Amino acid sequence: MLKRLQIQNLAILENIDVTFKEGFTCLLGETGAGKSLIIDSLSLLLGSRAYAEWIRAGEDKALVRGEFEISSPLLKASLAKKGILLEDDQLIVERLLTKSKNVVKINGTPLPLNELAKISPYLADIHSQFDYGKILHPENYFEIMDSLSPAKAERYLQDYLLARSAYFEQKKEYEALLLQQKKIEEDRDFLEFQYKELKEAGLEKGEEEKLANELALLRNYDKIYALTQEADSILHSDFLDKLYDLGKDLSKLSEYQKEYEEARNLLDDRYYELEDVFSTLKKKFKNLDYDPSRLEELQSRESELASLKRKYKKNIEDLIAHRDHLALLLGEKGNLQEEIKEAKEKKDHCFEEAYLRGQELSSFRQGLAKTIEKEIRHHLKDLNLESAFEVRFFPFEKSDDALTEDGIDRVDFYIEPNPGEGMKSLSRIASGGEASRIMLAFKALFLKCSGVSTIVFDEIDSGISGEAASKVAKKIQEISLSTQVIAITHTPQVASAGDHHLLISKTTKEGRTFASIKELNLNEKVEALATMIHGKNPSEKQLEAAKEMLFRS
C-alpha cells in the first residue's frame, strides 16, 4: 500500500508531503485545485510518460517520491532478481524529471523506466474517469477477461500465437512456391532456352584454369621449347653421377670421421629425390609437342566461355550454379510439384494446429466468462443495476481470417438494463453513469485476483447521483476493506463513505499559484461535506445534516 507521497515542483505542486493510510481516502477540492495532479504524480511512480512541461515554471527539475509497503511475494522475488533489497518491506520509488531526461530509482537503485512499468501492477492500479471507455469497446474485452487469470491466459495466448505464427510462415513458403511455379510457366520457353544453352556448353568446375594453362603452353611454345632443351641438356649431363660419387666419398669419410655421416645421409635423401624429379622432367620434355589444331580448339572454347560470361554477367562457377538451378526449376533434376504438395500438407497441418490452440484459448476464456457473468451480476445488483449480464462468443468461420491476434472468435458483453427489453450489446446502450458502475463492478471482481494493494479512482462516480451514488459509495467502501482505496470524488454519498479525507486547495501569492493538501479533522469533514451538498457557507442545519450523513455511512 501507499504510505507517503512527496512532490516537488510539479506544476502548481511546489512542495507536497502527504501520508496515506489503510482503508478509503477521499481527495476533495474544487475543480482545478490540483487533485488530478496528485493522480498524475502517482502515475509517474507507476511508469507513465513524463512531460518536461510539468516542471514548475522557473525550476530545473521536479521530483516525485512514493513510499510503499510491500506484501506481494512475487514482487519481492522480482526485485531480488534486480538486486533491489527491501528493509521492513518498504519500497521507495523516485522519479526525477529534468528538461532533458528523467531518472527512476527504487530504494536508491537506478532502474530503466520499462522495468518500473513491469513492477507497477503490483504497487497500484489507477482508474481514471475515462477508463469506462474500455467497457464500451469490444476490442478491449479479451484483455479485460484475461486479467481475471493473467498467468494462465498468457500461456494459452502464447501457445496460440506461436502456432499461428508457424502457420503463416508455412503459408508464406507455400505461396512462394506457387508464385515460383507460376513464373516458371510464364517464362518456361525462355528458361528452357537458357538451360539448353548452358547444358550444351558442358561447363565444368576448374575448366578455366586448365584452359588458361594449356593455352599458355601453346601460345608460348617457342620460348618453352628452347628452355626445355636447355634444361634437358643439363638433365642428361653427368650432374647426378657427380652427386653419386660425392656421396660415396662422404660415406668413406664417415667411417673415419662421424661428423660427415649427417651430410652423407642428407645427400643420399636429396639424390634419390632429384633422381625422381629428373625422371619426371625427362618424360615431360620428351612429350612436349605443338598442335595448331589444339590451339585453335582451345581459343574457340575460350571465346565461347567469354561470350557466356558476358551474356549472363556471371562467372563460370555462377553459370554452373544457374544451370543446375534451372534444372531443378524445369523438373529435370527435381520435382517442384512434389515440393508444392509437401508444402501444402505442412501448411494445412500448421493451420489445424493453430486452430486447435485457438479452440483451447477460446474454451479457457469461456470458462472465465462463466465466473465473470456470475460475479458481475452480483456486483451490478449491489450497484443498483439489477441487470442480466452475459459474455457472448462469436466464432469466426474456419479460415485464415479466423486466426486473429486475439483468437479465433470475438466476444461481446450483453446487458439488460431494463427488465423485459431484452439483452443488448453493452457498447451500444450504456450511459456514462451505467458504464462507470459496470467498470466498478469489473474492478471489484478483478481486484480479488490481481493482488494489487492500492487502487486509485479518479471520479469513478462521474455522472451518478441519488441512490446509485449511495450504492457506488458502499461498493467502494467494500473494496477498501481488503484494498487501500484513494478516490477523487465530487459526490457527497461517496465522500461520506471515506475513512480519511484530504482537501486539496489552490492559492495565489505574489503572482504565483500554489496548491496545498491537508488531512481534515471531523469538523472539517462535516463542513466539506455540507459544502459539497449545499455550497459555501452552509447553515447549522445543513452542517447537522452533513454530520448525520457522515456518521450514517
Distance CA 346, CA 342 (A): 6
Sheet with 409-416, side-by-side order of all strands: 388-395, 409-416, 424-425
**pLDDT value of position 444:** 85
Distance CA 437, CA 381 (A): 10
> What is the average pLDDT score of the chain?
84
User: Is the pLDDT assigned to residue 159 strictly greater than 80?
Assistant: yes
**pLDDT value of position 224:** 58
Q: What is the pTM of this model?
A: 0.65
pLDDT band for 128, please (50, 70, 90 cuts).
low
Which is more confidently placed, 424 or 273? 424
Which is more confidently placed, 189 or 440? 440
In this structure, how many other beta carbons lie within 10 angstroms of the beta carbon of residue 13? 24
pLDDT band for 208, please (50, 70, 90 cuts).
confident
**pLDDT value of position 175:** 94
Note the helical H segments in 330-457. Answer: 336-382, 426-429, 432-450
User: Is the pLDDT assigned to residue 18 strictly greater than 70?
Assistant: yes
**pLDDT tens, 67-82?**
999 888 878 888 888 8
Distance CA 165, CA 174 (A): 14
Give 68's contacts (C-beta < 8 A, 6+ positions apart). 1, 2, 3, 90, 91, 92, 93, 123, 453, 454
Task: Give the pLDDT mean for 13-23.
Answer: 93
DSSP secondary structure letters along 420-447 = TS--EEHHHH--HHHHHHHHHHHHHHHH
pLDDT band for 434, please (50, 70, 90 cuts).
confident
Task: Give the pLDDT mean for 144-153.
Answer: 88
pLDDT band for 411, please (50, 70, 90 cuts).
very high
**pLDDT value of position 439:** 82
DSSP summary character for residue 504: E
Strand duo 90-98 + 102-106: pairing: antiparallel
Q: CA dist 483 to 52, 447, 474, 492, Å?
A: 33, 8, 14, 22
Residue whose grid cell is 484475461: 146
**pLDDT value of position 538:** 85
**pLDDT tens, 44-60?**
999 888 888 899 988 99
Distance CA 341, CA 353 (A): 18
**pLDDT value of position 211:** 78
User: Is the pLDDT assigned to residue 129 strictly greater than 60?
Assistant: no
**pLDDT value of position 333:** 46
Distance CA 225, CA 217 (A): 10
User: Is the pLDDT assigned to residue 130 strictly greater than 60?
Assistant: no
**pLDDT value of position 275:** 66
pLDDT band for 286, please (50, 70, 90 cuts).
low
Distance CA 158, CA 164 (A): 10
Q: What percentage of residues in the chain have a pLDDT greater than 90?
A: 30
Task: Give the pLDDT mean for 17-39.
Answer: 90
Lowest mean pLDDT among 91-95, 271-275, 397-401, 525-529: 271-275
pLDDT band for 490, please (50, 70, 90 cuts).
confident
45 within 8 A of 486, measured Cβ to Cβ: no
In this structure, how many other beta carbons lie within 10 angstroms of the beta carbon of residue 316? 19
Task: Give the pLDDT mean for 227-253.
Answer: 65
**Best mean pLDDT range from 182-186, 234-238, 352-356, 507-511:** 352-356
Question: What long-range pairs does 67-72 form, CB within 8 A, spacing at least 24?
Answer: 67/2, 67/3, 67/4, 67/5, 67/91, 67/92, 68/1, 68/2, 68/3, 68/92, 68/93, 68/123, 68/453, 68/454, 69/1, 69/3, 69/453, 70/122, 70/453, 71/453, 72/122, 72/451, 72/453
pLDDT band for 201, please (50, 70, 90 cuts).
confident
Per-residue b/e over 541-550, b at no fewer than 16 CB within 10 Å? ebbebbbebb
Distance CA 271, CA 230 (A): 21
